Amino acid sequence: MLKKLALGSAIALCMTILNGTARADNIPIANPSFEEITGTLNVPCGTGCAYNGGPIPGWSVISGGSWQPGSYFTSVPDGKLIGFVNATRSLSQTLTGDSVLTNSVYTLSVFVGERSDGTSGMYTLSLDTILGGVTTTLCSVSGDAATSIARGTFQLKSCSYPSGSSVPSGDLFLNLTANSGQLDVDNVSLTVEPATGVPEPSSILLLGTGMLFVFSTLIVRRKKELQLTA
């Protein structure tokens, strides 16, 4: 019975550690769902619809702003507001203090919308690094909302960047560009996870400690059984 319990504990410990090393961590983004606004939504655009011309807290934007879209969308992915930018401008954010880690996988995810009136257009979403005002693209995804997304809805778009042992310098930089028409976005996220399933040294130490405890218990129990038999 003790052997079965020890084996089960060892297996559970291994699974817990391995699952923990595979978990993706969210990198903090300021105002990722555009619910924070500066001032008010002072331009009406219909029932339940209003917007402003920016600025957007946490984001750099020209020719864009915060928008409560009303009937232009059947629903909003997160909250009540979204961010918008008109061609050929971008919504961007520097993740100050967050640089690229080695041997990791970064995934940028953004909900992109197609307005019910069909005026959304082509876009490019990119994860970059920025150093001294110069950007280096890590990954990007482009498309045409008018042809790939049903009117009045949002669709999740993403790109991934696997880093190696050598990585570009600078802070991570998000750049969401309207190439034509209008780009409407919501619920921006960025995650990072190890590129391989190899446990970190601390995880290996924890696993070794747990296994040592299990086998020590078995040895002590076995010695007691031999003494009783003798």
Short-list 89, 93, 108, 98, CA closest to 59:
93
Walk along the chain (230 residues) and give the pLDDT tens digit of each residue.
445 544 444 444 444 444 444 578 999 999 999 999 999 999 999 999 999 999 999 999 999 999 999 999 999 999 999 999 999 999 999 999 999 999 999 999 999 999 999 999 999 999 999 999 999 999 999 999 999 999 999 999 999 999 999 999 999 999 999 999 999 999 999 999 999 854 545 444 443 444 444 344 434 455 555 454 55
pTM of the model as a whole: 0.79
Q: What is the mean pLDDT of the chain?
A: 85
CB 28 within 8 A of CB 96: no
CB 143 within 8 A of CB 176: no
Short-list 112, 117, 111, 114, CA closest to 46:
117
Whole-number percent of the chain with pLDDT over 90:
74
Sequence-ordered strand ranges (E) for 60-133: 60-61, 64-69, 82-86, 90-99, 104-114, 122-131
CB 131 within 8 A of CB 142: no
